[in-house]
Chains A and B, each alone.
Chain A
Amino acid sequence: MTKATTPIPVQSELLWEPRQVFWGARLQIAREFKEHTQKMLADKVSASPALVSLCEAGIKNPSSDLVQAFGEVLGFEPEFFYHEVEDMFHEEQCSFRHRRSAREHEKAKIRAHATLIGMVIGRLKSFLKFPVQNIPHFPLSRRTASEVEEAAEACRKHWNLGIDGPIMQIGRAFEHAGVIIVPHLVKTTKIDAFSRCGPTAVIFLNKTIHSESRWNFDIAHEGGHLVMHPGIETGSIETEREADRFASAFLMPRKAFSRDFSVGDAADWRHIFALKRRWQASAGAIIRRAYDLGLIDAVRYRKAYKHMSFHKWTVSREPEEPAFQEPEILSGALMSLGNRVKTTLDDLRQQLHFKPETFREVTGVVVPPAKLKLSPVISFSR
């Protein structure tokens, strides 16, 4: 007679059951989003960095308790790691508008953040009808300034914006074309903006530097990458210069801008700021545009730049900033959950397997604690 043994409840102690394949890419995204190195993560889950590396590479399948530990440290439910990344933000799809001193881990975090936002948008698309992506592509063949000008003008015409007037809500011009603009990013002054050209086109805006006119320019700059550089590796001096020129031309089309600029005195800052109010671009961008179009000479351009440097306008907020139209698609979609659509924010968070804190970090929206739904039926007491 054998003695009945009680099985050790290893799996049953876990509140979840691993069902599918562990996706190492998800672990990497989560780790990079939380700005952990493999060693830091390994220390926190009492594993070796080599094991973390093997898990990320998909060579090793981690045990259930290790996955749970990963989730706890990184702010995700364990199920998060058992779904394929449907729309990974690859490096070659991404463009950074950054300073040379921007660190690699900051860029990795932003890419990870973008991929997580992509997941959120992917889910939201199953609840809401997003605008169809309508980004015209004008790859440059000659790569000349005039070709960039033509691309910007063609883009404005494609979106029925004309090539005469200033665009008062630059973000909406891109949002109508199906580009999602995310107005929060890591807290760094090294990276101004980031964009991704892919199934979900996204522009990330860094609002750490508080300058509305710069944000407008950043959106147009990233838009330039989406229009001119799909499938092209960006980040070189040439591509950044092209995107800058595109932004200038998109915000301030040459003919209309030249006419406005020449009406007043180019040497008077009040005229520059009047143009700033009208064209929603920074004084720096206006001066540069005037120089690029040959409306002022190099001496005047240099004097103007020195004046701006002296007042620190080149690195901080300029006077007379225009009103900024906040991006609306993502925030509008999240706010409609539980209102105009049945699914609630908490439902979305659970479907994504994000922990509430992570959901807030990714989307910038706090998930309110789910209230108990009261039944309208009151039972008779016995």
Chain B
Amino acid sequence: MPDTFKPWERQPAFTAERLSKIVTALRDARDDALNTYEPLKGETNWSLGSSKYDRSKFCIREMSRSNPTWLSIVPERSVQRCTFAIDGIPVRFYHQGADDPPGKYTLSTEGEDRQYQMLFEVDGVPFFPTLFRLAIKDYATGKAESITLVEFDNTGAVINEYSIPFGVASSNVIPLEAKPVNLGPVTLEPVESERPDEQTGNDESDNSNTGTK
């Protein structure tokens, strides 16, 4: 499939910068797991895979805490499942080729369905009838080689792919935002004839009439 697909044209939330930030963090987390992998102490491919998955989940959760404006965790019934949302659009990741996804990843989860309902959905028809996944491909050494954003239609067929570059520099463009207008309170001055006399020691009863002290 030609790599002409631009995710941000399909979903403005999927900016190159955000996607790169996520996949770079995923790659680093998974490579860290690989660095601590010790087959000589009894670890196996199974434990390595589990470690990579758990570290990936952890790093996404941590990222969502530091980038709460655009990244969030989508609650799922199964605690093992990791679904996150970029500006509300749900995404999951799997470890396999982009063109060869595990069957369960071509179906939407409960959390994703709920998330799509949040996207202006109430009457049962999905607003965005496609699913987004990150397909993680490793080198033979186990290090992350590439991470691809894959879009599936509702039959599970791949309709778009985008290989996400690692380490895209953060933009230093800050959206122009006008300052809010803050207004002070209106103060009412008494007319001359109503100004109280100089304070004396017996003005307690005056204050009591206002109900405040």
Residues of chain A at the chain B interface (Cβ within 8 Å) = 126-131, 161-162, 164-169, 172-173, 175-176, 256, 259-260, 263-265, 267-271, 274, 278, 300, 303-304, 306-307, 310, 328-329, 332-333, 335-346, 365-366, 368, 370-374, 376
Contacts and interface: CB of A to CB of B under 8 A. Distances in A.
A168 B183 contact: yes
Q: Is the interface of B mostly helix, strand, loop or mixed?
A: loop
B100 interface: no
Contacts of A126: 191
Contacts of A127: 190-191, 194
18 contacts: A127-B190, A128-B188, A129-B190, A129-B191, A162-B178, A162-B181, A169-B182, A172-B183, A176-B186, A259-B176, A260-B177, A265-B87, A268-B87, A270-B72, A270-B87, A307-B122, A335-B210, A345-B210
B20 to A, nearest CB: 19
Nearest to A272: B120
B81 to A, nearest CB: 21
B202 interface: yes
A344 B209 contact: yes
Interface residues of B, number: 46
A344 B206 CA distance: 7
B211 A368 contact: yes
B123 A306 contact: yes
Contact of B190 (A167, A175, A176, A336): A336
Interface of B: 11-13, 69, 72, 87-89, 118-123, 127, 175-191, 194-197, 201-202, 205-212
A172 B184 contact: yes
Contacts of B13: 265, 268
A368 B202 contact: no
Contacts of A341: 190, 194-196
A333 B201 CA distance: 24
Contact of B194 (A264, A274, A343, A374): A343
Contact of B188 (A167, A336, A338): A336
A267 B181 CA distance: 28
B205 A263 contact: no
Contact of B208 (A166, A310, A329, A368): A368
Nearest to B86: A265
A121 to B, nearest CB: 11
Contacts of B183: 167-169, 172-173, 176
Nearest to A336: B188
B189 A338 contact: no
